[in-house]
Amino acid sequence: MAALHGLGSVIYGKVCVTVPIPTTSVDLSNHIIIVTGSNSGLGFEATRHLSRLGVGKIIMAVRTPSKGEAAKKQILQSTGKQESSIEVWPIDMDNQDSVKAFAERASLLPRIDGVLANAGIMTGQFTLSEGNEKTLNVNVVNTFLLFFLLLPLMRRSEQQTGNPCRFSIPNSALHYMAPLAELNEKETLILDRLNNPKRADMAGRYPLSKLLVLYVVREIAERTKSSNKGRFIINTPNPSWCKSDLGKEMETAAYKVAEKLLARTAEEGSRTLVHGVLADETSHGHYLNNCHVQAPAKHVTNRWGQGVQKRFFDELLAKIDSIAPGISSTL
């Protein structure tokens, strides 16, 4: 039933919903927003929208700076904004040292108003990277490593400007059909189970990574709801199925036909991501679909899901603290 609901969400979004083109009444000319994975696909189109909306400084965080520079040139040609309004910074989301170096450089910024953590991968091949299966390393571990490393700057910026920084991580309706058996073994750490090459269910690994993102976003919001350290907003918008390079490893003839019928363009999907990175505090801790807060799958909200959420979050905190000792204390 969850899988059918997820499929229905994609079909409904394609057939019945026209995602609004991003607009804002807020003057963004002094804002600074980071977009990871911004040289192509959804990240590129989201950056173009943010430039069009007048964001004062966009940092395109990309793995290959030359590709970022080419994308920057294309965006500025289409929006007519000043060259100084976009900077290209290197980051490799599959490399913890690269994430740390990026965050250290970002800590020198005068303010930060948004982070669109768009970079992610989808692969059916099991590869260990930095001790983690690669999908988990990029989509979950290092994405939240970046969040924790930037959190002091996010809070300091809010205290100085009054504008809470948004940290927005793309999600997917595929979380409805994530394989739950991998989360059900209480005698084994969840991360150890997922990093076991003999037992990993790689066909469902991308959906599972998005389910884990949901758990962590919700738990961060829950654990900081009474904090007085400084406000921020974290959310996880679903752009739905979009034409992009994300699923290139999975392409078959049937996939291409379904993509043609059901997938949004990258530009259409990017509208939902821009909404997430500009959203107000009602989006905090939530799954967003078609630019609205929506309840996620029951295996997120029910008692079982809540137990897994807390268990996985504690494991992730321990993992992140092993990478950057003491960083979880910023929460």
| Strand partners for 168 | 116, 235
Kindly report the CATH number assigned to the domain that includes residue 170: 3.40.50.720
Q: Which amino acid is at 293?
A: V
Residues 67 and 150: beta-carbon distance below 8 Å: no
The pLDDT of residue 4 is 56
The pLDDT of residue 321 is 97
| Domain contains 269 | yes
- DSSP state, residue 296: -
Query: Is the pLDDT at 104 greater than 80, yes or no?
Result: yes
Q: How many domains does the chain have?
A: 1
Positive or negative torsion for Cα 17, 18, 23, 25: negative
- Mean local confidence (pLDDT), 51-75: 98
Integer Cα distance of 314 and 321 in angstroms: 11
- Mean local confidence (pLDDT), 50-65: 98
| Strand partners for 32 | 57
CB within 8 A of 329, min separation 6: which ones? none
The pLDDT of residue 156 is 96
DSSP H or E run through 238: strand 232-238
Q: 21 falls in which pLDDT band (50, 70, 90)?
A: very high
Which residue bears the tokens 């911004």?
38
- For residue 166, the Cα-to-chain-centroid distance in whole angstroms is 11
The pLDDT of residue 6 is 55
Query: Is the pLDDT at 12 greater than 60, yes or no?
Result: no
| Domain contains 330 | no
- Mean local confidence (pLDDT), 117-123: 96
The pLDDT of residue 5 is 58
Query: Is the pLDDT at 1 greater than 70, yes or no?
Result: no
Neighbours of 254 (CB within 10 A): 8
> Among 57, 81, 100, 206, which one carries the catalytic annotation?
206
CB within 8 A of 224, min separation 6: which ones? 232, 331
206 is catalytic: yes
The pLDDT of residue 251 is 60
- Tell me the pLDDT tens digit for each residue of 165-189: 999 999 999 999 999 999 988 889 9
CB within 8 A of 255, min separation 6: which ones? 247
Q: Could you list the residue range(s) of the whole structural domain that residue 66 is in?
A: 2-17+28-324
Percentage above 90 pLDDT, the chain: 82
Query: Is the pLDDT at 254 greater than 80, yes or no?
Result: no
The pLDDT of residue 48 is 98
Integer Cα distance of 154 and 51 in angstroms: 21
CB within 8 A of 36, min separation 6: which ones? 43, 61, 62, 91, 93, 115, 116, 117, 118, 119, 146
- Mean local confidence (pLDDT), 55-68: 98
Query: Is the pLDDT at 142 greater than 70, yes or no?
Result: yes
Integer Cα distance of 163 and 116 in angstroms: 16
Q: 243 falls in which pLDDT band (50, 70, 90)?
A: confident
| Domain contains 267 | yes
| Domain contains 259 | yes
> Among 57, 81, 100, 210, which one carries the catalytic annotation?
210
Neighbours of 24 (CB within 10 A): 13
Query: What burial letters (b/e) apply to 176-190, b meaning 16+ CB within 10 Å?
Result: bbbebebbeeeeebb
| Domain contains 23 | no
Query: Is the pLDDT at 15 greater than 70, yes or no?
Result: no
- DSSP state, residue 245: S
- Tell me the pLDDT tens digit for each residue of 259-310: 556 678 999 999 999 999 999 999 999 999 999 999 999 999 999 999 999 9
| Domain contains 241 | yes
| Domain contains 22 | no
> If 0-12 CB within 10 Å is exposed, 13-18 middle and 19+ buried, where does residue 82 land?
exposed
* Least trusted range by pLDDT, from 10-24, 92-106, 203-217, 306-320: 10-24
Average pLDDT, the chain: 92
The pLDDT of residue 229 is 80
The pLDDT of residue 14 is 56
Integer Cα distance of 28 and 113 in angstroms: 9
Token digits of residue 258: 């379904």
The pLDDT of residue 109 is 98
- The number of helices, as runs of H, and strands, as runs of E, in the chain is 12, 10
Query: Is the pLDDT at 258 greater than 70, yes or no?
Result: no
Query: Is the pLDDT at 3 greater than 60, yes or no?
Result: no
12 is catalytic: no
The pLDDT of residue 124 is 92
